[in-house]
Amino acid sequence: MEMKYVCNECGKKYDLKSLPFRCTCGGLLNLEDFEFQFSNKDILKDEWSLFRYIKALPLENNCNLWKDISMGEGLTPMVPLNNDNPNLLVKLDYLMPTMSFKDRGAVILIAKAKELGVKKVIQDSSGNAGTSIAAYAHRAGMACDIYVPQHTSEKKIKQISAHGAVVHVVKGSREDTARAALAAVERGDGFYASHVYNPFFYQGTKTYAYEIYEQLKGEVPEVLIIPVGNGTLVLGAYYGFKELFNLGLISKIPKIIAVQSQNCAPIYKSFIEGKDYVQETVNTGTLAEGIAIADPKRGKQILSAVRDTQGEIITAPEDDIPKARQYLAERGFYIEPTTAATFAGYFKYVKENNYHPEGKVIIPLCGSGLKTD
Ligand SMILES: *Cc1c(COP(=O)(O)O)cnc(C)c1O
Ligand SMILES: [Zn+2]
């Protein structure tokens, strides 16, 4: 059966080969549900990357292009944050080839683009997604243009150009940057390898769920704490656990608590107001640059996913971010401020709600501290 894109707004379907990046109605594209069989015995135990779940991934059968592109991404360790609490686990997603979880999505998106014959990709990012796309695109032999906002950390910009991409620094906000990249795509400059628009990215981030499933031997965590800007990890984790549930491999879908920055919290705002769509807000400045997304294009989907898990959206107090970063560093984990924000948000939640989870709580360490100052 041929896989298709389907518009999130009007349901119109598109061939993958026509390389659309959104619907003519302006809606974002999802991947149409595809059938696959997957159980424990389908895990490729000798493949030490997220491709051990290849049976659940939407790549061409009999096509091994991914083998030339993979750098062993995924399969990250999951360990207790503190020895005295075996239930609070951190998943070390900063231990990836380009030092952030974005490699999960980028490797699948680029492998698919390669299958579709793409020669040049364009992407915009606040840093880590651009780095990841740049690395995999170059490995796949594609040209790559990455658009970043002017306030992106110097180190991330250096890393992107080191991978062989052309970096366009856009004067203005993250949203201006997205508009500049879109204009280039509309001019016909290349394939839009966007982690926001392209649904294959989410097929990669869903392996976060498959790994937790394998690492916990099927035990369902009580809650997943996940940072949310554009929602690539929130939606990926949700899709992954939903698939595992639909396959009959787990008894329920874990609750997702998503964390926004206090100073840029459009999804949080809609959540507490009980709305089912998200309005653009203004980023008033935050250390958590990786989640500072004022206009999250998949806001509606994020709200509905979080609500479907009986989850919540919370915010990270800005002043607590440096403290949380230090707290993690003193436990051996050197992570970037955006990741510290996830903890700042969770610690506040625990305190305010007197929260004593009985099951496992899993928090991802999304980006390396070496990426920022
Ligand atoms: C991208 C990123 C996030 C947020 O992911 P979204 O897809 O925007 O929700 C969080 N932390 C780090 C380190 C990131 O790179
Ligand atoms: Zn449409």
DSSP state, residue 46: T
Cα 217 to Cα 361: distance, rounded to the nearest angstrom: 15
Q: Which residue in the block uniquely carries the two structure tokens 């874990």?
A: 254
- The pLDDT, as a whole number, for residue 257 is 98
| DSSP reduced 3-state for 279 | coil
Does ligand 1 come within 6 angstroms of the Cβ of 128?
yes
Out of 169-178, 234-243, 244-253, 270-279, least confident range? 169-178
Task: Give the tens place of pLDDT for each residue, 115-139.
Answer: 999 999 999 987 899 999 999 999 9
Distance 205 CA to ligand 2 centre (A): 24
Nearest CA to ligand 1 atom 3: 290
Residues, Cβ < 5 Å to ion ligand 2: 7, 9-10, 12, 23, 25, 27
Residue at 225: amino acid letter: I
Which positions ≥6 away from 63 have C-beta within 8 Å? 115
Query: Check: CATH 3.65.10.10 for 78-100+202-371?
Result: no
For the cut 60, the answer to whether the pLDDT of residue 76 exceeds it is yes
Token digits of residue 101 = 């979880």
User: To test the ligand 1 pocket, which listed residue (96, 230, 303) has its Cβ within 8 A of the most ligand atoms?
Assistant: 230
Task: Give the tens place of pLDDT for each residue, 26-42.
Answer: 999 999 988 899 999 99
Task: Give the tens place of pLDDT for each residue, 286-324.
Answer: 999 899 999 999 999 999 999 999 999 999 999 999 999
Confidence of residue 173 (pLDDT cuts 50, 70, 90): confident
Q: Which residue in the block uniquely carries the two structure tokens 């401020």?
A: 337
Does ligand 1 come within 6 angstroms of the Cβ of 100?
yes
DSSP state, residue 367: B
Token digits of residue 361 = 């709580």
195 alpha carbon, closest ligand: 1
- The pLDDT, as a whole number, for residue 165 is 97
For the cut 70, the answer to whether the pLDDT of residue 370 exceeds it is yes
Torsion of CA 71, 74, 79, 82, to 10 degrees: 80
* Sign of torsion over alpha carbons 227, 211, 201, 131: positive
Confidence of residue 69 (pLDDT cuts 50, 70, 90): very high
Which positions ≥6 away from 232 have C-beta within 8 Å? 102, 105, 129, 195, 196, 201, 202, 205
Distance 230 CA to ligand 1 centre (A): 7
Average pLDDT over residues 105-111: 98
Average pLDDT over residues 351-369: 96
Domain assignments of the chain as residue spans, ordered by start = 78-100+202-371
Ligand 1 atom at minimum distance from 230 CA: 8
Distance 2 CA to ligand 1 centre (A): 31
CB 110 within 8 A of CB 97: no
According to DSSP, the β-strands at 361-364 and 88-91 are parallel
For the cut 70, the answer to whether the pLDDT of residue 1 exceeds it is no
Confidence of residue 174 (pLDDT cuts 50, 70, 90): confident
| DSSP element (H, E) containing 39 | none
Cα 31 to Cα 338: distance, rounded to the nearest angstrom: 29
Q: Show the 3-state SS of 113-148.
A: HHHCCCCEEEEECCCHHHHHHHHHHHHCCCEEEEEE
Give this prediction's pTM: 0.97
